[in-house]
Amino acid sequence: MSGTKFQIIKSHLKLISWLQTQYVTLLATLMVFACTPASEEESIQLPDQISYNFDIQPILSNNCYVCHGPDSSTRQAGLRLDLREWATKKLDDGKRAINPGNWKKSELINRVSSHDPEIMMPPPEMKRNLSAREIALLKHWIEQGAQWEPYWAFIKPEMSETPEVVAKSFINNEIDRFLVNKLETKELVPAELTDRYSLARRLSFVLTGLPPDPVVLEDFVNDPDSDAYEKLVDHYLDAPRFGEHWARHWMDLVRYADTRGHEFDYKVNGAWHYRDYLIRAFNQDVPYNQMVLEQLAGDMIETPRLDRPSGANESVIGTAFYCLTEGKHSPVDLRIDQSERIDNIIDVTSKTFQALTVACAKCHDHKFDPIPTTDYYSMYGMVESTRFTLTQAGFDEKRKLILDSLKRDQSSIRNYIVENLTDEPPANLKSEVELHDISRYHIIGDFRDGSLADWTPDGISISNAMGNPVVSGNLLAGLEPAKISSRAIGKGLFGVLRSPGFIISEDSMLFRAAGKNSLIRVVINNFQLIQDPIYGQLQTRLESNELQDYTIDLSMWKGHHAYIELLVGDYRRRKDKGSHEYDLDPEAWLEAAYIIGYDSLSGDVNTETVTSSITGGSTLLNKWSSGNASPNEIAALDGWLASSNTEVPGLEEWANGQQGRGRRLYDSSFVAGVTEGDHIKSPVFIRGSLKNLSSYQVPHRYLTAVSDTTKVFQNQGSGRLEFAKKVADPDNPLTARVMVNRLWHHLFGRGIVETVDNFGVQGKIPSHPELLDYLALKFMAQDWSIKKMIKFMVMSQSFQRVTTPSKSSLVVDPENVLLQHYPVRRLNAESIRDAVLAVSGRLDTTMYGPSVPIYLTEFLSGRGRPRISGPLDGKGRRSVYQAVNRNFLSPMMLAFDMPVPFSTFGRRNVSNVPSQSLTLLNDPFIVEQSKYWAAAILNQPEDFEARVKSIYLTAFSRIPQEVEIQEARAFFKEQASLLQSVTKETYGEEELWKSYCHTIFNMKEFIFLI
């Protein structure tokens, strides 16, 4: 970053020497022109050294890049201004757009200064004109040699010296040095520190989203210790409420919702587990780089992070991140549907973690940033190579231990049986096998050799059952033939077996399978919401005890990319669950022998019984127990056992034990997640069209603007883990900056980069670039600890200043970009609702669990409306626990600007609409809470003043002034007489307190942080 020295050109401008730094706000710029005629070019104040990044590129990007930027498809006249080589080369007409060192011979200056519609740039139809200052900047920059610089956000943060400041008393830590230094260059004096009451309120709201508890507040105010404030900071950082508040911030980034929207608003399976995961992660201060890895590739991390004390896999829950897209139940074109989901994932991933708008490079190279369309399709391939799955959120340590012992016993029982068998097989055995000759068909999976073929199991229950003992009492009744099975260790255990991807090439598919409340699913183009009217046939429920043929007609889907999923459990619509909510019946299981594709079956699948002689006698048993027996040998042993009444003492006890322990594995807490699929490289969709594909298949790799373009990921799987590691790499110039900027945004109301989700050229330039880098480096040096970084920020004096601006600040920096004072902020939607509950005494601080159903008013109607309404007060739970149904979003949350969950929103709008006032004035929820609050007040001793004081402390975190108590008395009197005149009755105290409490909820002081 270049230095900031300023040339004062005319003496009268010394008075306003704050003007014209490279960071001055737009508004201030406009004001300059209000007092300096634009024609007097020499009076325009420019920095000594023009910075390409901060002065020049924003001009070029805003005005020129659309036709002369990175996107080759719309480039005009072969001119490109984002690269020096292009911008300075001789053009066809012999001129140069930019002639370093000589603006007079630079066609660019000629064009942007011209008023001739034939010549001027930008052309008249763009309706854009460069300002005199912008032209002056360009001229000076060219005179200084026209140096291009790498874009600031794509080079690693650099540690600069913390600046010296004159007013040392305004400094707590480095943050203050950077901020105060800049204020001093503008001759601004930082505002004084705020009082303890408002400080505690501010701290409590920004860290936990709730008002301070009056007791904590009074303790802090009266705490004589010099570290009283730090103790309060630690108190709120350690509060469980902290994670709830910061999880909600994160949920804005990842378009969190409990449902999928679209026509029927189906549920996202167990989305709330992901919400709880976030709350735990923020509360436990999981390092941010770890959170990045988990959300992008938590299923692939070598050593997953375990929840304590339960021991459940936490990392994998993070991958629900991918599953929060919308979902359509019957898209006519599956590939278009898939491309829309993937587009959303690319959009949200790149904005959330890198503050880049990669989705803008879908149809053409990015118009402003160096993001070629191949970067988009590289990510596209990665997501296409990723499959959706269910993950068991509650599979804890206890269950893992049981599972391990069950598996051990499953193999050790064979030795036990061999040692304790009451009988021995004869030397010559006969095997009778029912042969299904499927060799003429397209074999998609054949498990009759004892393997899982090349299919991939997920969950805990799938294995090949070949040779497993069939037990009846102490009787060893036989051995299982080769087939995959989910019930070797018990029923109702989660398991899924997926085939490799293939192109559907036959009309039909036949499954030799059996099972109960379990499914065969043909997943086409990763499409999950399988159901009628179009897709119902892609799924078949297994309902048979014995292996039998199930067929699926796929004639409509020939040529599509698909894989098969054998899933224990089902998506049947139930009373207590919606469609597409996965349900695992404790009795569910499945088995399968083979799967084939065919156009027509010649008769049936050819079956005949083949008999062969097997020799070996008792050595066969040893072969079996060591797992080396062939399917034929097992059939032979099975035939012998079936006819020989062979007993094994203790076998019944063992089997019962297995079954009992197997039942203890049951766990029905599922969350949507992802797993690895086939390695698919995507072609580029030329101009975004699925019908116009490039022959080039883009390899998987990280964004080329930020990393070595030659380094592609390995040729297998999705490459998500490699991508995640690139994001979490300390060498990544964006990740730490983006996150500290988000934290700053939430603590100070505005990011150092105001466009928190866009660090690209079209985003805002940082107001304090050196500070941003300092914080990013410190963040990484502190092991990416979010809590430590937040503490560092709130310990600064800058966080603790009053909200009253100085007079000169209002003139010099009306937007308060330089943070002369702390900004006044309206509370977000969740905090307003939570604060209402907190002060009324009705806040239920129960953590975690399924979302509280939304309260349905008559205004919430349409398809997919939940069958049951939640309670008016959301059970008193915090807003983060209220259901986010995409098609039925809470009116109160929306009125106060909760974003609609479709993309990344790191920064919410702060709007001002009558529905906000109407909600607080007339909504039954607010009125009801006023009543509860009044009742609580009446439980306090009968002392009007003390009661008013308690109300002020609870709601506004301060002591009322004498005059305010007077006003309250007057109000009570007025209300009493009005009520009496209306109803001709004398009104009880409760009614009056209710009126007063209701009024308090409507005060601006209640919903603003002052």
Site for other proteins in 882-911 (CB under 8 A): 886-889, 891, 894-895, 897, 900, 902-903, 907, 909-911
Per CB under 8 A, 864 contacts other proteins: yes
* Closest to 839 (Cα-Cα) out of 996, 707, 975, 708: 996
Compare residues 622 and 915 and give the one whose CB is closer to other proteins.
915
Beta pairing partners, 562: 502, 524
The alpha carbon of residue 619 and the mean position of all alpha carbons in its chain are separated, in whole angstroms, by 58
Compare residues 271 and 895 and give the one whose CB is closer to other proteins.
895
The Cα–Cα gap between 151 and 54 comes to 9
CB 933, CB 772: distance < 8 Å: no
Q: Which of 628, 970, 988, 990 binds other proteins (CB under 8 A)?
A: 970
* Closest to 840 (Cα-Cα) out of 936, 939, 949: 936
Compare residues 147 and 861 and give the one whose CB is closer to other proteins.
861
Compare residues 306 and 894 and give the one whose CB is closer to other proteins.
894
DSSP helix/strand/coil, 925:
helix
Give the containing element (helix H, strand E) for 443. Answer: strand 442-446
Least distance from C-beta 660 to other proteins, angstroms?
A: 48
Rg of the chain in Å (alpha carbons): 34
Q: What residues numbered 356-415 form the site for other proteins, per CB under 8 A?
A: 357, 359-360, 367-369
Per CB under 8 A, 192 contacts other proteins: no
Least distance from C-beta 267 to other proteins, angstroms?
A: 15
Q: What residues numbered 512-541 form the site for other proteins, per CB under 8 A?
A: 533-534
DSSP helix/strand/coil, 235:
helix
In the DSSP assignment, the letter for residue 96 is B
Q: What residues numbered 549-568 form the site for other proteins, per CB under 8 A?
A: 556
Per CB under 8 A, 917 contacts other proteins: yes
Least distance from C-beta 915 to other proteins, angstroms?
A: 7
Q: How far apart are the first and last CA of the chain?
A: 34
Compare residues 277 and 896 and give the one whose CB is closer to other proteins.
896
Compare residues 679 and 886 and give the one whose CB is closer to other proteins.
886
The secondary structure of 718-745 as a DSSP string is: --HHHHHHHHH-TT-TTHHHHHHHHHHH
Q: What residues numbered 985-1004 form the site for other proteins, per CB under 8 A?
A: 995, 998-999, 1002-1004
Binding segment (CB under 8 A) for other proteins, from list 316-324, 518-526, 619-627, 975-983: 975-983
CA atoms within 13 A on the CB side of 500: 13
Binding segment (CB under 8 A) for other proteins, from list 154-162, 478-486, 569-577, 963-971: 963-971
* Contact flags string 80-119 toward other proteins, x per CB under 8 A: ----------------------------------------
Q: Which of 545, 602, 912, 986 binds other proteins (CB under 8 A)?
A: 912
Binding segment (CB under 8 A) for other proteins, from list 82-90, 579-587, 853-861, 934-942: 853-861
Give the containing element (helix H, strand E) for 478. Answer: strand 475-479
Least distance from C-beta 197 to other proteins, angstroms?
A: 13
DSSP helix/strand/coil, 442:
strand
The Cα–Cα gap between 921 and 326 comes to 34
Q: Which of 962, 963, 984, 986 binds other proteins (CB under 8 A)?
A: 963
* Closest to 236 (Cα-Cα) out of 276, 259, 205: 205
Least distance from C-beta 72 to other proteins, angstroms?
A: 17
Q: Which of 924, 943, 946, 990 binds other proteins (CB under 8 A)?
A: 924
The alpha carbon of residue 40 and the mean position of all alpha carbons in its chain are separated, in whole angstroms, by 51
805: preceding bond cis by omega (within 30 degrees): no
Q: How many Cβ atoms are within 10 Å of 898's Cβ, its own excluded?
A: 22
* Contact flags string 808-827 toward other proteins, x per CB under 8 A: --x-------------x-x-
**Beta strands 456-459 and 682-685, pairing class:** unpaired
Q: Which of 439, 859, 939, 962 binds other proteins (CB under 8 A)?
A: 859
* Contact flags string 494-513 toward other proteins, x per CB under 8 A: --------------------
Least distance from C-beta 342 to other proteins, angstroms?
A: 13
Q: Which of 127, 575, 691, 984 binds other proteins (CB under 8 A)?
A: 127
Q: What residues numbered 737-796 form the site for other proteins, per CB under 8 A?
A: 750, 754-755, 757-758, 760, 762-763
The Cα–Cα gap between 399 and 311 comes to 9
Compare residues 115 and 127 and give the one whose CB is closer to other proteins.
127
The alpha carbon of residue 691 and the mean position of all alpha carbons in its chain are separated, in whole angstroms, by 31
CB 698, CB 381: distance < 8 Å: yes
The Cα–Cα gap between 904 and 667 comes to 33
Least distance from C-beta 623 to other proteins, angstroms?
A: 54
Helical H segments across 387-493, by residue range:
397-420
Least distance from C-beta 362 to other proteins, angstroms?
A: 12
Least distance from C-beta 702 to other proteins, angstroms?
A: 20
The Cα–Cα gap between 277 and 907 comes to 22
Least distance from C-beta 264 to other proteins, angstroms?
A: 8
Q: Which of 118, 302, 982, 984 binds other proteins (CB under 8 A)?
A: 982
The Cα–Cα gap between 107 and 416 comes to 91
Least distance from C-beta 999 to other proteins, angstroms?
A: 5
Residue 162 identity: T
Least distance from C-beta 524 to other proteins, angstroms?
A: 14
366: tokens are 């990015």
Least distance from C-beta 263 to other proteins, angstroms?
A: 4
Tokens 């503008």 belong to which residue?
186
The alpha carbon of residue 368 and the mean position of all alpha carbons in its chain are separated, in whole angstroms, by 25
Q: What residues numbered 307-366 form the site for other proteins, per CB under 8 A?
A: 326, 328, 330-333, 340, 344, 347, 351, 357, 359-360
Least distance from C-beta 677 to other proteins, angstroms?
A: 24
Least distance from C-beta 947 to other proteins, angstroms?
A: 16
The Cα–Cα gap between 188 and 820 comes to 7
The Cα–Cα gap between 659 and 586 comes to 12
Binding segment (CB under 8 A) for other proteins, from list 97-105, 262-270, 488-496, 784-792: 262-270
CB 534, CB 499: distance < 8 Å: no
The Cα–Cα gap between 362 and 685 comes to 8
Per CB under 8 A, 68 contacts other proteins: no
Q: Which of 204, 468, 919, 957 binds other proteins (CB under 8 A)?
A: 919
The secondary structure of 557-618 as a DSSP string is: GTT-EEEEEEESSB---BTTB-TT--B--TT-EEEEEEEEEES--SSSSEEEEEEEEEE-TH
Least distance from C-beta 316 to other proteins, angstroms?
A: 28
In the DSSP assignment, the letter for residue 55 is I
* Closest to 293 (Cα-Cα) out of 314, 272, 270, 323: 314
Least distance from C-beta 619 to other proteins, angstroms?
A: 59
Compare residues 63 and 392 and give the one whose CB is closer to other proteins.
63
57: tokens are 């590129």
Number of residues that bind other proteins (CB under 8 A): 96
Binding segment (CB under 8 A) for other proteins, from list 229-237, 415-423, 842-850, 861-869: 861-869
Per CB under 8 A, 605 contacts other proteins: no
Binding segment (CB under 8 A) for other proteins, from list 162-170, 383-391, 672-680, 967-975: 967-975
Q: Which of 144, 915, 931, 989 binds other proteins (CB under 8 A)?
A: 915
The Cα–Cα gap between 537 and 525 comes to 16
